[in-house]
Structure 1
Amino acid sequence: MLAGCSSSTPSTAPAPAASLPPPAPVGATPPAPAPAQEVVANAQGFDTFLEGVRADARRAGVSNATLQRALSGVRPLARVLELDRRQPEGVLSWEQYRDRIVSQTRIENGRRAYAENRALLQSIEQRTGVSPRVIVAIWGMETNYGSNTGGFNVIEALATLAWEGRRAAFFRAELLAALRIIDAGHIQAEAMRGSWAGAMGHPQFMPTSFERLAVDFDGDGRKDIWGTRADALGSIGNYLARSGWQSGQGWAMEVRPPAGFDIERADTETRRSIAEWGRLGWRRADGSPLPASDTQASLAVPTRSAGQVFLGLPNLRVIRRYNSPMNYGLAVGLLADQVA
């Protein structure tokens, strides 16, 4: 997520684990492209819009050959507009979200993914300083360990959203970035598949995030976040490292509030040392004292929580730079604690 905007972000929560297929084995062939999508009827002005995109892309240095291959036959997709306009049908409580997302199935699949990629993850940790279990947890949250990376043609999805106009400037910039990525040789146009919002590959990077933060971890000259585990997981690690990850530090601790605490009026902005939180009457969830630590922490209150509260450490803020909702960040941390 989000690395910008993904199938699970920066908009909605990831799909429940129960709705996702089991993780593909290491080295498996990527899923086959989705069937052709229904196009928008009477797409007035779309061809004119594409001509403007071609002109902008040429000015940015994209070759005519890339534009011909990437934009030939592109039409606005009705399904993309339907998903973009859909309003959530219901709102989960934190406890429902937590139990659905950090499910036993997702934990077990995460443990298997961690074990299968242990050497690679250790190499990424050596280079970036980022915890392997957090990388795996984000991988699991975003694409169920690479098994659900999205079946939309990214160019077609982004063109649809940029043409439709509700967030035209944002998606036009992403479309131009996607064309530059193809032109640079990182992926073929027909293989650039992702979510309806244009989030791509195992990490669900938006194209502009790809340009800033994707890495060629295996050194083959391409940043392949679609089919190369090293590049995909290395790019997640690079994203977190560049966002300020503190090596060897935790992400949060569940705490028990003092008497009189009102979760509805919780101050989540003030940072204090963990020792000071302890002096104010906060304790660990099991009732034991907080450590006498100078580490700064702030209250992390899940959205629609029935009472569970955490002290968020700096690395929780880093996780939330990947995908901003508090419940997402907390779920990543809880999953990370379970997978390794």
Structure 2
Amino acid sequence: MELDRRSFLAGCGTFSIAACAGSPPSLRHASKDDLAADLRPTDNPKFVEWLKAFRSRARHAGISPATLDATLPNAGFVPGVITRDRTQIQTRRTLEEYLSIATSDERLAKGRAAFARHARTLAALEAKFGVDARIVTAIWGLESQYGEKRGQVPVISSTATLAFDGRRAEFYETQLLAALRILDRGDTTLSQLTGSWAGAMGHTQFIPTSYQSYAVDFTGDGRRDIWSDDPTDALASTANYLARNGWRPGLKWGAEAGAGGPPGRAIQPQSGGVRFTVTHNFNVIKTYNNSDFYAIGVGHLADRIGGADPLNGTFPPDENDLTKDDRIAIQRGLDARGYDIGTIDGVIGTKTKTAISDFQRRRGLPVTGTATAEVLAALR
């Protein structure tokens, strides 16, 4: 794994899906008008002074005067990226919860549709790079919901703000310089150079240094365009990334233990839960995101996109002695009473907790926002 991507993921939370995404979920690609107010560049005199000092370092690093003249005067301080960088909440989900999100009915349906829609391109990528096209599609699905959540924060402004802030100054100044080189090369324009609040870009959320190392012009138009609505270059870049990190063609990532998968090492990421047998290619997926949960999520989503069945094994009850079916029953009960709980998937997120709290309050129960057997009984 390259050090810069490991550093980036350490700051964004490797267990989360689209952890550093900057745009809200939607059925379309979000516009800059959808950005939260604190993610829009603003004036900051100290930041302007920092940019003046940075300019000399950028010239020394080989960035052209023309690119610096076009970008730095238009860069703005983005307060929201500092807030998010300093106050990230690392939600510790179980593997069962993670897979419920990673292979939700919606993500699976969209993945199968995307795989069919881009079948010719994906087949060409597999032939060129030797990487399973379903794995590439699954990474696309987890990183940006198949392009719906690419992020619209200006990358020059976000990386400059994080470099100026100083918590990880060297890392983000390196990302800023890499982003400027993208513009120097002409791969995209300043207005199109957008991404997550942390600088991850395009359909498969490359950071600028990963882009420099692995991005591919597969369309042949002279630009390595991972930002456009056409995902071809982004998907090719991801396939290239995996290939160059050691992907072995024809080898499955792994499988649920006892399901007839390839030989490999045994893992059980959640105590008492499903066991898996994983191969070398499982480790290659982890170079993209160094998390067993992520690699299993990618592998299982890829299998499901290809028509495989859900896992056969079961997971133990949660800390409140509820099974996934129990949690789904709570969500359905709340949904039937008019509460907005988001997706009914057995994962107790913010909306479900808020709904539980209101339900408990109305029923005269202790208000905890926690899914419990008491709440389940009250809803039945």
TM-score, normalised relative to structure 2: 0.72
Within 5 Å, give how 1:2-81 maps onto structure 2.
Answer: 4=5, 5=8, 9=12, 11-15=14-18, 20-22=25-27, 31-34=30-33, 35=35, 37-38=37-38, 43=44, 45-81=46-82
Q: Classify 1:8/1:201 alpha carbon distance in 2 versus 1 (closer, same or farther; 3 Å).
A: farther
Unmatched tracts of structure 2, length 5 or more = 307-380
Residue 66 of structure 2: SS of its match in structure 1?
helix
Range that drifts further, 59-68 or 312-321: 59-68
Residue 202 of structure 1: SS of its match in structure 2?
coil
Paired with 1:44 and 1:69, the residues of 2 have a C-alpha distance of: 19
Q: Classify 1:84/1:159 alpha carbon distance in 2 versus 1 (closer, same or farther; 3 Å).
A: same
Residue 162 of structure 1: aligned partner: 163
8 Å Cα contact 1:7-1:199 kept in structure 2: no
Paired with 1:133 and 1:57, the residues of 2 have a C-alpha distance of: 40
Paired with 1:7 and 1:33, the residues of 2 have a C-alpha distance of: 27
Alignment pair present for 1:148 and 2:153? no
Residue 117 of structure 2: aligned partner: 116
Paired with 1:147 and 1:42, the residues of 2 have a C-alpha distance of: 30
Residue 217 of structure 2: SS of its match in structure 1?
coil
Residue 96 of structure 1: aligned partner: 97
Residue 301 of structure 1: aligned partner: 268
Residue 190 of structure 1: aligned partner: 191
8 Å Cα contact 2:64-2:184 kept in structure 1: yes
Unmatched tracts of structure 1, length 5 or more = 25-29, 256-283
1:87 Cα deviation after fit: 3.3
Residue 245 of structure 1: aligned partner: 247
Alignment pair present for 1:254 and 2:256? yes
Alignment pair present for 1:125 and 2:92? no
Paired with 2:195 and 2:276, the residues of 1 have a C-alpha distance of: 34
Q: Deviations over 1:221-279 (max 9, x none)?
A: 10000013221111111011001111111011212xxxxxxxxxxxxxxxxxxxxxxxx
One-letter code of the match for 1:207? P
Question: With CA pairs under 8 Å and 6+ residues apart, which has the higher RCO, 1 or 2?
Answer: 1
1:36 Cα deviation after fit: 7.5
Paired with 1:71 and 1:177, the residues of 2 have a C-alpha distance of: 14
Higher helix share: 2
Paired with 1:53 and 1:12, the residues of 2 have a C-alpha distance of: 34
- How many residues are aligned here? 295
Residue 210 of structure 1: aligned partner: 211
Paired with 2:233 and 2:288, the residues of 1 have a C-alpha distance of: 17
1:177 Cα deviation after fit: 0.4
Paired with 2:79 and 2:14, the residues of 1 have a C-alpha distance of: 19
Paired with 1:135 and 1:21, the residues of 2 have a C-alpha distance of: 22
2:280 maps to which of 314, 330, 334 = 314
Paired with 2:286 and 2:106, the residues of 1 have a C-alpha distance of: 24
Alignment RMSD: 2.5
Q: Deviations over 1:264-296 (max 9, x none)?
A: xxxxxxxxxxxxxxxxxxxx15xxxx68x7x5x
Residue 180 of structure 2: aligned partner: 179
Paired with 1:86 and 1:7, the residues of 2 have a C-alpha distance of: 14
8 Å Cα contact 1:6-1:197 kept in structure 2: no
Paired with 2:298 and 2:215, the residues of 1 have a C-alpha distance of: 20
One-letter code of the match for 2:265? S
Residue 331 of structure 1: aligned partner: 297
TM-score, normalised relative to structure 1: 0.80
One-letter code of the match for 2:32? P
Question: Identity percentage over the alignment?
Answer: 39
Residue 135 of structure 2: aligned partner: 134
Q: Deviations over 1:147-179 (max 9, x none)?
A: 100121111110111111111100000000000
Residue 330 of structure 2: aligned partner: none
Residue 191 of structure 2: SS of its match in structure 1?
helix
Q: Deviations over 1:25-57 (max 9, x none)?
A: xxxxx5422448447999563223212321122
Paired with 1:93 and 1:330, the residues of 2 have a C-alpha distance of: 12
Q: Classify 1:15/1:8 alpha carbon distance in 2 versus 1 (closer, same or farther; 3 Å).
A: farther
Residue 278 of structure 1: aligned partner: none
Alignment pair present for 1:106 and 2:107? yes
Paired with 1:136 and 1:221, the residues of 2 have a C-alpha distance of: 24
One-letter code of the match for 1:46? F
Paired with 2:11 and 2:32, the residues of 1 have a C-alpha distance of: 19
Paired with 2:125 and 2:305, the residues of 1 have a C-alpha distance of: 17
